[in-house]
Amino acid sequence: MKPTLTPSSANRTGSSATRQALLDAVRTERDAMYFYLRAARTARDGRARRVFNNLAEDERRHIEWFLETYSGNDLPDLQTCLDRGRNEANDWLEELENTHATDSTDLAALQLAMRKEEELEQHLRRQAEKQTDLQIRRVYLANADATRQHYETIRAELQRLSGEQILT
């Protein structure tokens, strides 16, 4: 069940900490979405391309969910978030471009994606542990759970392409 995040004041403006946690989640999802779109454009294997496109769409849906679950009125809408384009400081994309410079295979992109998702999940769970506000903790945990699902999807595709069992 997805948590509903409620604002702390009567004017439907959320607490600045809740708002910041959501903005961080949205930024993370948007960065991952652009990473997966780029990986899909360069994928040679049709199924890997579909996996990357599906992951990008999942990230878009996560952005939408984070915005919808917040009952405050001080966050941008989905289209505004998407129209902002890619974050130039997106380390996911930078690493993908560096990886493609030396190894442009789908396997390399999947390995990078799996590593990034694992690192992100660990980061999000650490952030959740630090939170005393239950609403903020829920934001981080929901994002961490979705990140784990992506990790497993990528692991399965990497296993298919490589023909080797990938241990977690």
Q: What is the pLDDT of residue 12?
A: 37
Residue-range domain boundaries for the chain: 16-162
**Range from 91-95, 123-127, 136-140 carrying the lowest mean pLDDT:** 91-95
The amino acid that residue 31 corresponds to is: D
Q: Are 63 and 133 in contact (CB under 8 A)?
A: no
Element (H, E) at 107: helix 106-130
Q: Write down the architecture of domain 16-162 according to CATH.
A: Up-down Bundle (1.20)
- In 3-state terms, what secondary structure has residue 165? coil
Rg (CA), the chain: 17
The amino acid that residue 64 corresponds to is: E
Q: How confident is the model at residue 100 (pLDDT cuts 50, 70, 90)?
A: low
Q: What is the pLDDT of residue 85?
A: 63
Give percent above pLDDT 70 in the chain: 80
- Which residue would you say has higher pLDDT here, 100 or 35? 35
- Which residue would you say has higher pLDDT here, 117 or 19? 117
Q: How confident is the model at residue 33 (pLDDT cuts 50, 70, 90)?
A: very high
Q: At residue 106, does pLDDT exceed 50?
A: yes
41-81 residue pLDDT tens? 999 999 999 999 999 999 998 888 888 877 777 778 888 87
Question: Percentages helix, strand, coil for the chain, rounded to the nearest 5?
Answer: 75, 0, 25
- Which residue would you say has higher pLDDT here, 67 or 118? 118
> What one-character DSSP code corresponds to residue 70?
B
Q: How confident is the model at residue 40 (pLDDT cuts 50, 70, 90)?
A: very high
Q: Are 121 and 144 in contact (CB under 8 A)?
A: yes
Q: Are 61 and 69 in contact (CB under 8 A)?
A: no
Q: At residue 165, does pLDDT exceed 70?
A: no
- In 3-state terms, what secondary structure has residue 5? strand
